[in-house]
Every structure is written in C-alpha cells, then in structure tokens.
Amino acid sequence: MIKICGVSKFYDDFKSLDAIHAEIADGSIFGLVGSNGSGKSTLLRVMSGIFRADSGEVLYDGENVYENVALKDRIVYLSDDQFFLPNATLGDMAKLYASVYSSFSWEEYNKLLNIFSLSSSRKIATFSKGMQKQAAILLGIAAKPRYLLCDETFDGLDPVMRQLVKRILADAVAEHGLTPIIASHNLRELEDICDHIGLLHKGGILFESEIDSLKENIHTVQAVFSREIGIEEIARIGGTVSIKQRGSMVTTVVRGTEDAVREKIEGLAPDFYEIIPLTLEEIFISEMEERGYDYTKVVF
C-alpha cells in the first residue's frame, strides 16, 4: 500500500505539488493523468525518493521512501527522459540493474529481450526513441520490482508496441504482484489498462476513483418524446448531471446504476430511449463540469 500524505513540493516560489493525498493499493494499476505542467513528473520523483517533499511524506507499507535504501530496492522509476550510461549496450545496463536490484531476473531479461527483439550487444545510443523506451521498460520489469513508476511510458511507441507493453505490464501484475503507477497526459492511453485513476491539475489531485465504479454509476441517455417535455421535468428525476434538448430528442447524463437510470427514464414515458456507456474522457468531463472546472484547461 502506498500512502501519499499531504505532499507539497516547491521550486523556489512555484508550488509544483499542493498538499496531495492519495492511496494506491498493492496489485492495482494506477493511472495518474494530467495536462503538461500539472505536477505528474514531480510527484513520481517524490514517490521514488529522488526528490524530498517540502512537506508531507510518501509511505510504502508505513515506511518513508526518502533515503530508504532497502525500500528503494523494490521501486523502479522509469523517467520520461531515459538515462543510460554513455556508450553502454543494453547488456551493460542490465548488469548495472542487476548490481542495484537484488531481485533482478536474467531469465525475465532474456524473455523480454526476445519479445522486444532488441540486441543485448548493441549500443543504446544507436536505438531509436521508441527502442530506447522499450529498453527502459525491459530493464524496469526485469528488475522484478514491487512498484514500477512510469512517466509517459507509452509516448514514442507505435500502436502495436503500446498494446504489447500494456500486455506485458498486465502479465507482470498477475504473475509477480507488480503495482504500476502510470503517469500520462493522454487519458485514452490509460483507459484500457488501469483499474484506478487519479486526475492531477495544478499540483493537486482533483479526484481519484476506481474506473469500474466510475463507469457503472453514470450513463448517457438519449430519449425521444412525442409529447412536449421540458428540461425542468427531466431534471426532477434526480441525478442528472447535464441535459440537452433538440426538438423531440433529449440527451441527458444521469448518475446511478443502469437499472436505476432505466427506471427513472421509463417513468417519463418516452417513445424510445437508449442508454449509452460513457468513455472515460466523457466521465471526466462530466466530473469537471460538476465541480465547476473548465475541462478544456484540464483534460487533454
């Protein structure tokens, strides 16, 4: 269990993180989404113990991560800007990781080497950007950490490789109990892999939630009425987040389980209606609007 307890971080007078609180359960795949400059990279660096929080702390099973060498043996941080030793081959970097992480698995390394079709003897400086991303992911997973902190992991990967990396991460969660925390500015990249997600904006987490819970409790309904119906009548069914009306067609976003939403809408006696699942982006937009935020300045 990771607990982020009131973490704040300043760069001179600029507050990058503002009293962040969050909990991340072991074995979950946590997506940290936010626009550029929202504080994602800073938070990951504090979580990995690279940066010291100006206030608050990050606890892993009750232990503070900062300057905790034994705890860091279980944490791998994959920066958006990968670092490799000058003139190092992938094999050289694997030896470095093996010397640092006690759980490094050469068996896992060789397996992933074949999956990614990378050369262990080739200098990483000659790799493309996408191949360097693959190399970083390979080394991070081969270290067999308990926690993998990923900053823009999918950036620079082609669509096929992105899906492959997602499958490898999911397999590592199932087989080794890995807990990935994946930061991205792209909500769509996280929707099909994460089970929990938090939205970071201007240094603070606006909200976090289990994705299935979000999706199960908010729905879009499109309904057609032959009789005249006003927005006020629709709003009285309760739980409405937004209502749009165009002629006889009404589109409304309603909170509640699908059965509860169906009962509410049928109570209005429409001639026809359908319940449409929202994408994660649409759910976030609804959440932002309800909280009074301008989603165009938050979501990506």
Percent of the chain with pLDDT over 70: 95
How much is the pLDDT for 114? 94
**pLDDT surpassing 60 at residue 76:** yes
pLDDT band for 146, please (50, 70, 90 cuts): very high
How much is the pLDDT for 217? 83
Chain-centroid distance of CA 141 in Å reads 18
Give the model confidence (pLDDT) of 158-171 as tens digits: 989 999 999 999 99
How much is the pLDDT for 292? 61
Give the model confidence (pLDDT) of 177-209 as tens digits: 999 999 988 777 888 889 898 888 777 877 777
What is the average pLDDT across 44-68?
93
How much is the pLDDT for 238? 84
Question: For all residues of the chain together, what is the average pLDDT?
Answer: 88
Q: Of residues 112 and 235, which shows the higher confidence score?
A: 112
What is the average pLDDT across 89-118?
95
How much is the pLDDT for 295? 57
Strand-strand pairing, 240-246 and 218-224: unpaired
How much is the pLDDT for 15? 86
Domains of the chain: 2-212 (3.40.50.300), 217-297 (3.30.70)
How much is the pLDDT for 243? 86
Give the model confidence (pLDDT) of 11-42 as tens digits: 988 889 989 999 999 989 999 987 777 888 99
Percent of the chain with pLDDT over 90: 51
pLDDT band for 155, please (50, 70, 90 cuts): confident
Mean pLDDT is lowest, of 75-89, 139-153, 285-299, for 285-299
Give the model confidence (pLDDT) of 254-297 as tens digits: 888 889 889 988 988 999 999 988 877 777 777 666 666 655 55
What is the average pLDDT across 202-230?
83
Q: Of residues 207 and 224, which shows the higher confidence score?
A: 224
What is the average pLDDT across 83-97?
94
How much is the pLDDT for 73? 95
**pLDDT surpassing 70 at residue 85:** yes
How much is the pLDDT for 242? 81
